[in-house]
Structures are given as C-alpha cells and as structure tokens.
Copies of this chain bind each other. A is one copy, B any other.
Amino acid sequence: MRLIENAILNNCKVLPGDVLKVDHFLNHQIDVNLIYEGAKDFYSAFADKGVTKILTVESSGIGIACLSAVHFGVPVLYAKKQFGSNSDDKLYSVPCHSYTKGIDYNMSVSSKYLTPEDKILIIDDFLAGGNALRSLIELCKVAGAEVVGCGVVIEKKYQGGGDAVREMGYDVISLAKISAMSTENGIEFCD
C-alpha cells in the first residue's frame, strides 16, 4: 500500500528507542481520507471470509477499525483496558504487555459481544513484537470465536511479531511493512 508508505516517508520521525512517530495520521491526528482508502486493502483481502465483526483494542485501534468496518458493513468491538464500575457483564480478560508504554495490563471484552458464532477480523494500528495481536487472538479463543484474519496499518517486520503470528496459522495483512528503521538511516520498507 504505497499510500501509507508515502505518508510515513513524508511526515514521520524515527525517535530513539525504535519509536516511529505517526501522530500526524494514525494515533493522535487521524488522516481519515487516507485510512479509509487504505482500509480498502483489508476489504480486498478478507471480503470473502464472512467477517461478522471487527475486533480491536482501545484507543489507537478504534478509528482504524471503524473506518475499515464501513467497507465490511459490520460492527466494531473494542477491547477495553478498564471497565467502568457500571458494568455488570461477564467479561473475558487476557493479559497484555505494552512494549511502547512498558506496562502490563488486561484487555477485556463483554462476553455478550464475542461469541462462538463470530468470524472476527482483528484490526490494529501497529504490529511490532505482536503482543497486542496475540492477546486479541487469545480473547477470541477464550470466547470460542473464529479469527478469519488480521489487518494492521504498520508492521515493523524486523521485530518478528507479524511472522510469529503468521506461523501460528493466521493471515496477517499490513498496509506498510518496515524492514529496517533507525534515527541515522531513516525508514526502509520491504519489497
């Protein structure tokens, strides 16, 4: 997806600590036209999989998941890191480690909205070590829902998380796949 790669090349900064700053189009300001257009690639890849719902995790996955879901015409379910005290539902919860924030947390969904009848497309903004993606897959397992595919906007392929998930047998699509990245040499994409 040349569109997303161009957006990264034109405006993104590589920060120390292997951090790619994409807050101008992905995880603070959202370039809605760009992501809506880019998400058509998710639809092309998974249109025939009978997707019933898109699953993501708050916060930065939500916008991308919704813009993807318009193409599929299905609801979005976002896993929460914290449920309000007004929740009386049975929850499914799995642990997750955030690489960027250096914290452990639980991601949870209400059991009402993730069921064995669901065919789930998982969508997220970033795929690096793959922790969030594996936790979302685990949530589906716990609920008995089927994961029919995974779509991420940016994959840092050199961190291996995407390939690990592919080796588990899941189909993972990335709109931009980074092969190498450094403050000195900038960003390189996979062919």
Tell me if B17 and A66 are in contact (CB < 8 A). no
Stretch at the interface among A109-117, A146-154, A166-174: A109-117
Tell me if B84 and A24 are in contact (CB < 8 A). no
Interface size class of A (residues with CB under 8 A): 35 or more
Q: Is A95 an interface residue (CB 8 A)?
A: no
- Nearest-Cβ distance from residue A40 to partner chain B, whole angstroms: 13
Q: How many copies does the complex hold?
A: 2
Collect the chain B residues with CB atoms within 8 Å of residue A36's CB.
70
Q: Is A10 an interface residue (CB 8 A)?
A: no
Tell me if A110 and B58 are in contact (CB < 8 A). no
- Nearest-Cβ distance from residue A16 to partner chain B, whole angstroms: 9
Q: Please list the residues of chain A having a beta carbon within 8 angstroms of any beta carbon in chain B.
A: 15, 17, 19, 21, 23-25, 28-33, 35-36, 53, 58-59, 62-63, 65-67, 69-70, 73-78, 80, 84-89, 100-101, 109-110, 112-113
